[in-house]
Amino acid sequence: MEEDDLEIDEYQSAKKLVQRAADRESLLKRSGPSHQPASEDLNFTVVQDTSLGSDFSSLPLKPDHPSRPCWTCPDGTIYLEAFHDLYPKAYDFLVAIAEPVARPEHIHEYKLTPYSLYAAVATNIETESIVRVLNRFSKNALPEGVAKFIRECTKRYGKAKLVLKHNKFYVESEYASVLRELLRDDLISQARVAKETDGGGNTAGGVNNPDGFVVHTKAEEMEENLRMLREMDGDSSDDEEDEDGDGKKKAAAKTTVSFQVKGDSVEVVKRRAIDLDYPLMEEYDFRNDKVNPDVPMDLKPHTRIRRYQERSLSKMFGNGRARSGIIVLPCGAGKTLTGVTAAQTIKKSVVCLCTNAVSILQWKYQFQLWTNIPNENICVFTSDKKDDIPPESMGGCVLVTTYTMISYGGQRSDKSAEVMNAIRSREWGLLLMDEVHVVPAKMFRRVIGSVKAHCRLGLTATLVREDDLISDLNFLIGPKLYEANWMDLTTQGYLANVQCVEVWCPMTGPFMREYLMADNGRLKQLLYVMNPAKLRATEFLVRFHEERGDKIIVFSDLVYSLKLYAAMLKRPMIYGETSERERQAILGTFRTSDALRTICISKVGDTSIDLPEANVIIQVSSHFGSRRQEAQRLGRILRPKSYTQQDGSNRSSFNAFFYTLVSTDTQEMFYSTKRQQYLIDQGYTFKIVTTLSEKADLEAIENDYAYKNSEDDRKLLRTVLTSETELEKDQRAEDTAIRKNNPDGARLADLGVKRSAGQTMAQLSGGGGARYQAGPRKVHPMFAKRKKR
């Protein structure tokens, strides 16, 4: 099938690009030392070899370094002082060009990667401005390797664009030479539309230049996106020369040249361009798209867009055209509104993909809440409900569906097949992908093959995965356009200020004994989840917070224990097998009524269940060391509460609580540390509480808890030990149920935390950095004597 070829091609192109990016990155590593003076060189490599950290102390420091906020290391790491006067400017700049690795309170860490630079170029930041501004912010003289790396990475990216304008595809560039080089390729030149047939296409003020290229004035980038560059360039009086050069360049950059390519050979051109290492960035000039009908929707007057949402969208629509890319916003920070606004700006037909039925409803609801879209122009496509897609004559439409529905490869019902055909046969303006980090690559390929969209927007809270599939997204969707800082949003009151607490529950004697003797992982897990001290602590916390009037979610990955916890607390629970209707009923009661203050949820609740009222999470069991799950769960309570202060004082008091119960001396301790890493890098702190379980033990006796004495513990242990098979059955049933309902769960249900080695894209999301690399430990010279012989 031709379509199949196409999708695989696109995927393989992405792979190629990823490989190339990795090559470039390794180039940075190698190029580092070679640009040092020879003597330094030796030193440098020695340090690297022994994996004793990295020594860049030989970098020359500028004489006025205190007035500059960053350090730039030869390996592309950038450190930023968050307490520096220039911090706000430097922050905007660094976020645009580098990946944030860790953003605690005082000193941030960023990393230059090919992807981050790719993203920077995509938003029209020029190579030389990056080098110049970075040098200006840097306390130490910019290492040559870094400058070279930046130039190398941005030399070809973004130099040529594929623009969809007036429903015709143009390859556009500021540099005629680039186009000439592209045209030297046979396939591309064949794809070029001959001038004669061009006709009325380029009436928009275009002038043809000697090469036959159409010359246009360049679409100006929004002022806001470039301000940080201008400001830094502007108030520099120290190098006049730069200023002049910049001025000239600006004047030169006003025009672009382009040639048109045939619509049916666009894919070929794209592929060839990648082979030539001029990957085409796609832009969609939606304002001039007269062929695809508009969707009649506008934001309602009461809709207010927050500053950071505006920033993220301005990155997307920076030059009046739509770029593909990913926007990363913390859970609860209004991703949906951002998506809706993006759709509303393009005003063309939209396919909106989510992970499960619950979030479909939420998306539809939000579209109707924020915009005046008519009911008949928004349709839902699920296994239960298959709305007809309105004909094009009625205007564009918004289609909300799940990844599974689109990518399903098996036999479909007639109705379903009909809708799918309608989807395939259409041109879509925007492909909106929620929770884009969970989509398995295979499914992703099918989606992209089925939906012909001119622009793709991915939304996620945590661009982090335990494997390295994130890197593909950079090329399948587009670069990361924006990533918000959790702590800043918290300070500004857009997120609840969460107190993260790790509660240590000592294993009771008999449980510990069984734990030590247990030979399979499942049983071990069950034992530390069912630790009676944990049960008591849970009941204690639930009682405490219910009395305060809080709304509580109890999370347990293990269905067997979820059932037991729910039974102990006498509260309803939601897990994979819970029917949709029951689920909605429970969530509805939880949202609206004070009668139900606590619900127990399995991992189905990790994402996309919107419970704005909840402000306490008690996590009793979790998916091993998944950093993403931890962040997603925290996201359930991040939505600002009615009493969250927006005047900047939000940081001073906590208004939401995230408890993780950990059985001491078990594997859980290890997993828990690993899980927290992502949030710690975002600036969260975990407070460790060791005394709570003692208090809970006392309370248990006083207030007659379900498990209060050692007799109860023994009974519990007996049940636990005899129910291993039941547990297995439960868990399997849960996994199948989840796999059936949403792809997100499928990822989660597939056990096994894949560890990536070497070059990973985990770096994209804060997973990178030396800390994760396990190497042979070297003894510090200080202790060498002691260990000798």
Partner 1 sequence: MGGIKRKADEDVKSAPPPTKRDKKASVATTSAPSAATTSKDPLEEILASSNSLFEYLENLPPRALKLIYALPAPRGPLVAAAVLRSSSLTDLARQIALRLVACGGTFKIQTIVESWIHRHGSRDAFVALRRLECMGILMPLGLATRPGEEGTDIDDEGNEAKRAKLMEMDACLTDQFKTAMAAYLITSCSSPWPLITREQIEEYKKNGDIKKQQDGEKESKPSRDPPTLKELESYTQSSWDSVLHFLVGSDESDRGEGIKEPDEAMVGFLTQIGLMQSDPDYKGKDNSRAPLVITSKGYEFMLRDSNAQVWQFVLQYLNALAHHEQKDQIRVEALSILICLGSCRVGEGYHMSVLGSKYARVVIKDFGRFGLLFGCRIAGKNAFYPTEAVVNLVASSEKAGREASAIIGQSVAASRALEDALAAPVPSRTHLALVVQTNFQVVAYTRSKLHISTLGLFCDISTFRKLPNVIFFHITRDSIRSAFRLGVLADQILRFLHVHAHPMLRNSDQPLVPSNVIDQILLWDKERHRVVMDEVWVHQCRDDAEFTAARHFASDLDALAWGAAHTNKLYIHIHYAEQVSAYVRRWRTKQAGR
Candidate ranges 215-223, 430-438, 718-726, 773-781; the one touching partner 1 (CB under 8 A) = 773-781
| Contact criterion met (CB below 8 Å) for 535 and 663 | no
Query: Quick one: which of 1, 30, 39, 57 contacts partner 1 (CB under 8 A)?
Result: 57
- To the nearest whole angstrom, how small is the minimum distance from the Cβ of residue 102 to partner 1? 6
Question: Which of 170, 70, 161, 91 has the alpha carbon at shortest distance from 123?
Answer: 161
Query: Quick one: which of 686, 723, 739, 756 contacts partner 1 (CB under 8 A)?
Result: 686
- Tell me if 780 contacts partner 1 by CB under 8 A: yes
- To the nearest whole angstrom, how small is the minimum distance from the Cβ of residue 485 to partner 1? 14
Residues whose CB is less than 8 angstroms from the CB of residue 475 and which lie 6 or more positions away in sequence, other chains included:
13, 14, 17, 18, 279
Beta bridge partners of 688: 502
Of 38 and 774, CB closest to partner 1: 774
Of 612 and 769, CB closest to partner 1: 769
Q: Which residue has the tokens 């002038």?
A: 207
- Tell me if 64 contacts partner 1 by CB under 8 A: yes
- Tell me if 788 contacts partner 1 by CB under 8 A: yes
- Tell me if 570 contacts partner 1 by CB under 8 A: no
Query: Quick one: which of 610, 668, 681, 735 contacts partner 1 (CB under 8 A)?
Result: 681
| Contact criterion met (CB below 8 Å) for 351 and 389 | no
Of 169 and 684, CB closest to partner 1: 684
Candidate ranges 167-175, 314-322, 331-339, 772-780; the one touching partner 1 (CB under 8 A) = 772-780
Binding pattern for the stretch 689-708 against partner 1, x by CB under 8 A and - elsewhere: -x------------------
Of 408 and 772, CB closest to partner 1: 772
- To the nearest whole angstrom, how small is the minimum distance from the Cβ of residue 46 to partner 1? 10
Of 52 and 422, CB closest to partner 1: 52
Question: Which of 734, 354, 707, 419 has the alpha carbon at shortest distance from 565?
Answer: 707
CA angle 2, 351, 19 (to 5 degrees): 55
CA distance 233 to 781: 45
Tell me the number of residues near partner 1 by CB under 8 A. 50
- Tell me if 784 contacts partner 1 by CB under 8 A: yes
- Tell me if 164 contacts partner 1 by CB under 8 A: no
Of 629 and 676, CB closest to partner 1: 676
CA distance 243 to 249: 10
Query: Quick one: which of 45, 58, 345, 645 contacts partner 1 (CB under 8 A)?
Result: 58
Of 391 and 509, CB closest to partner 1: 509
Of 600 and 662, CB closest to partner 1: 662
Tokens of 687: 């407070």
| Contact criterion met (CB below 8 Å) for 233 and 243 | yes
Query: Quick one: which of 35, 65, 641, 739 contacts partner 1 (CB under 8 A)?
Result: 65
- Tell me if 680 contacts partner 1 by CB under 8 A: yes
Strand pairing class (281-284; 322-323): antiparallel
Of 55 and 594, CB closest to partner 1: 55
CA distance 362 to 350: 16
Of 251 and 782, CB closest to partner 1: 782
- To the nearest whole angstrom, how small is the minimum distance from the Cβ of residue 553 to partner 1? 24
What residues between 381 and 440 interact with partner 1 by CB under 8 A?
A: none
Of 452 and 651, CB closest to partner 1: 651
Candidate ranges 30-38, 58-66, 180-188, 204-212; the one touching partner 1 (CB under 8 A) = 58-66
- To the nearest whole angstrom, how small is the minimum distance from the Cβ of residue 688 to partner 1? 5
318 residue type, one letter = G
What residues between 36 and 55 interact with partner 1 by CB under 8 A?
A: 51-55
- To the nearest whole angstrom, how small is the minimum distance from the Cβ of residue 518 to partner 1? 15
Q: Which residue has the tokens 């046969």?
A: 425
- Tell me if 513 contacts partner 1 by CB under 8 A: no
- To the nearest whole angstrom, how small is the minimum distance from the Cβ of residue 71 to partner 1? 5
In the 8-state DSSP scheme, what is residue 453? B
Query: Quick one: which of 592, 646, 649, 685 contacts partner 1 (CB under 8 A)?
Result: 685
- Tell me if 785 contacts partner 1 by CB under 8 A: yes
Residues whose CB is less than 8 angstroms from the CB of residue 533 and which lie 6 or more positions away in sequence, other chains included:
505, 506, 507, 508, 663, 693, 696, 697
Query: Quick one: which of 8, 567, 688, 753 contacts partner 1 (CB under 8 A)?
Result: 688
Query: Quick one: which of 17, 18, 22, 59 contacts partner 1 (CB under 8 A)?
Result: 59
Binding pattern for the stretch 104-133 against partner 1, x by CB under 8 A and - elsewhere: xxxx--------------------------
Question: Which of 176, 196, 81, 210 has the alpha carbon at shortest distance from 138?
Answer: 81
DSSP characters over 257-324: EEEEE-GGGHHHHHHHHHHTT-PPEEEE-GGG--SSPPP---B-TT----HHHHHHHHHHTTTSSEE-
Query: Quick one: which of 37, 60, 210, 758 contacts partner 1 (CB under 8 A)?
Result: 60
- Tell me if 756 contacts partner 1 by CB under 8 A: no
Q: Where are the beta strands (DSSP E) in 506-579?
A: 552-555, 573-574
Of 304 and 788, CB closest to partner 1: 788
Q: Which residue has the tokens 């003597």?
A: 39
Of 78 and 193, CB closest to partner 1: 78
What residues between 69 and 108 interact with partner 1 by CB under 8 A?
A: 71, 73, 77, 79, 83, 102, 104-107
> In a 10 Å sphere around its CB, with 0-12 CB exposed, 13-18 middle and 19+ buried, how is residue 546 labelled?
middle
Question: Which of 675, 321, 682 has the alpha carbon at shortest distance from 490?
Answer: 682
Question: Which of 149, 146, 126, 140 has the alpha carbon at shortest distance from 21?
Answer: 149
Residues whose CB is less than 8 angstroms from the CB of residue 499 and which lie 6 or more positions away in sequence, other chains included:
654, 656, 657, 658, 687
The angle that helices 114-122 and 87-97 make with each other, rounded to 10 degrees, is: 100
CA distance 311 to 224: 8
- To the nearest whole angstrom, how small is the minimum distance from the Cβ of residue 50 to partner 1? 9
- To the nearest whole angstrom, how small is the minimum distance from the Cβ of residue 680 to partner 1? 5
Tokens of 345: 């700006």
CA distance 229 to 458: 26
Binding site for partner 1 (CB under 8 A): 51-61, 63-66, 71, 73, 77, 79, 83, 102, 104-107, 139-140, 680-681, 683-688, 690, 770-771, 775, 777-778, 780-786, 788-789
